[in-house]
Chains A and B, each alone.
Chain A
Amino acid sequence: MAVSESGELGSVTSADNVKAEVFSSFAEAKSLSVKQMQALAKRIRRHIISMIGKAGSGHPGGSLSAVEILTSLYFAGLRHNPSDPQWSDRDRFILSKGHAAPLLYAVLAECGYFPVDELLSLRQLDSRLQGHTDRTLTPGVEMSAGSLGQGLSFAIGVALAGRLNLKDYRVYVLLGDGECNEGQVWEAAMAAAHFKLDNLVAIVDNNGQQIDGWNREVMNIEPFGEKWQAFGWHILEVNGHDITQLIQAYRQARQVKGKATVIIAHTIKGKGVSFMENNPDFHGKAPNAEQVEIALKELE
């Protein structure tokens, strides 16, 4: 890749004792170390497996790949208050790849937006936890999603409103790499640069796969970083499973003025469960009871 992995983040260390920088009263109250966040990430993976296993359908692969991205964001990047989901000064997180709903629900529950027990109601009739996110039902869910390619446009609207309202909140949006096949993503990429939205951060869960297989075989998105750069974005590339690098990237994005930042997070689809890793079969298929048992054992 022409956009170097070593360039932007050369000084980042991955020492376990690096404390998350405190951006919010919530993070301060939690004050989790990186090591604690890693343990939390494992628990969130267990939630994802249990939820999708119980529901009998869902998308484990792209939920597991982004666990560290959301854990580090919600516990060390985002200014938010789980007891006041509509707090007007909150930072906004928008899940554009709506099929990773189980991940977002698990993270929100661990934050305290709703009880962890509720997670097992995923996809059941009258549950607040719909198969894909629904902003009208779930505390902490900023936007409904499921039809890909739409979250970045929505995020631009939220970022523009923040500017108009003289609010200093920041807007984060998580995209899939396969999702970037959608033309609307690039309409939005062009617009975010045009509007100079330095309060906007796109994170791409670059796990390399989509439903039909590897991106490069289904619809090649490379050269990927160069595309964002050409559209006028500031580019950061990180190991998307390295919490320290992710926290550092969120911190660095705050310093960028006059342009939006994209964090390309290199991840492994199905991360943490041996038989799901890099296996497109588990993009949108639930594990059976036996597979759930094996997966949970691996995640102990």
Chain B
Amino acid sequence: MAEEVLVREVYGKTLLELGRENPDIVVLDADLSRSTMTRLFAEEFPDRFFDCGIAEQNMVGIAAGLAASGKIPFASTFCCFVPGRSFDQIRASIAQPRLNVKLVTTHGGVTCGEDGASHHSIDDLSLLGSLPGFTVIVPADGIETAQAVRVAASRSGPFYIRLWRPKTPLVHNQDYRFTLGKAVTMRQGNDATIIALGIMVAEALDAAENLKGEGILCRVLNMSTLKPPDKVAIIKAATQTGAIVTAEDHLEHGGLGSIVAQVISSEEPVPIEFIALKDTYAKSGTPAELLKRYGLTAEDIAQAVRRVVKRK
């Protein structure tokens, strides 16, 4: 069993390191710094940490003003509030003026579980993916999280990084190097490709392992950079494996599945199946119960692969 880590704790620790390295790093939160783990930065750099209270729209605007003044602001809260609560502020105060703001939010997807539908962020990738100039990253584990946060700090321009609540297994080795805009081939295979992001990468790897026994060899791509998408890797997967399954902890429309479908339909049409929430909000439950209820497990992915391979 792979080691399990809290990606948000990795985020907090990485912010703290960045804070020590670069005095221009500043951090904002909206009264959730203990959950997002920005508290780790706040304790060492109280003058560079701004708790904006429960006012996400204002937090986004303040971050924009700091960015326009040469700071590198990281603004954090839960994914359901940024972007959900503050979408126009993100569009008008960050995306359109092209400001160097990093939105790193936690508790994405359905895995904040028992809090219920109000706290399940299942449309954030669709919202952020719609904004010209935004880079959208969903790391697959703690190792990738640390590197993605560092890349966001080092590149100019608006970034959105989606993290989540529970501990999840490491899927990368310690020597893994994240490259912005490059999908990562996690496993080779030529019968079908599973393209996944975030917590679904681990599920995809389990599915691929299970399918191996049936003689179906799956390629697994980690699309940690959702926007801009790695079109080359997607087209190559379509050409070489002839069938694709996408897997995301998000609504079916507007996220990974939509982006991959758009790329292959215009470049290399092949059968595709989508593992995602089907036009529904989820209920309260444990993360494992919800992943099962809404069809987001390794077994659901494996079944989708069996279906898509038949359609080749």
List chain A positions with a Cβ less than 8 A from chain B.
134-136, 142-147, 149-162, 164-165, 183-184, 187-188, 190-191, 194-195
Contact = CB atoms under 8 A, between A and B. Distances in A.
Contacts of B63: 157
Given A136-B98, A142-B68, A191 B60 contact: no
Interface of B: 26, 47-48, 50, 52-53, 55, 57-71, 73, 88-89, 91-93, 96-98
Contacts, number: 104
Given A164-B48, A184-B57, A157 B97 contact: no
A159 B88 CA distance: 22
A160 B88 CA distance: 23
B55 A191 contact: yes
A159 B93 CA distance: 16
A142 B68 CA distance: 8
A72 to B, nearest CB: 24
A150 B59 CA distance: 10
Contact of A150 (B69, B73, B89): B89
A157 B89 contact: no
A142 B99 CA distance: 12
B26 A150 contact: no
A125 to B, nearest CB: 18
B68 A157 contact: yes
Given A153-B65, A184-B61, A188-B58, A164 B97 contact: no
Nearest to A157: B65
B61 A161 contact: no
What 9 A-B pairs are tightest by C-beta distance, nearest first? A157-B65, A153-B61, A161-B69, A187-B58, A187-B55, A157-B62, A157-B66, A154-B65, A144-B97
21 contacts: A135-B97, A136-B98, A150-B57, A150-B89, A150-B93, A153-B57, A153-B89, A153-B93, A154-B93, A156-B58, A157-B71, A157-B73, A158-B66, A158-B69, A159-B65, A160-B66, A164-B48, A164-B71, A187-B53, A188-B58, A190-B55
A184 B61 CA distance: 9
Contacts of A157: 61-69, 71, 73
Nearest to A171: B65
A168 to B, nearest CB: 14
Contact of B92 (A136, A150, A159, A165): A150
B292 to A, nearest CB: 39
A154 B52 contact: no
A30 B92 CA distance: 35
B92 A191 contact: no
A160 B65 contact: yes
A146 B92 CA distance: 8
Contacts of A183: 57
B62 A156 contact: yes
A66 B288 CA distance: 58
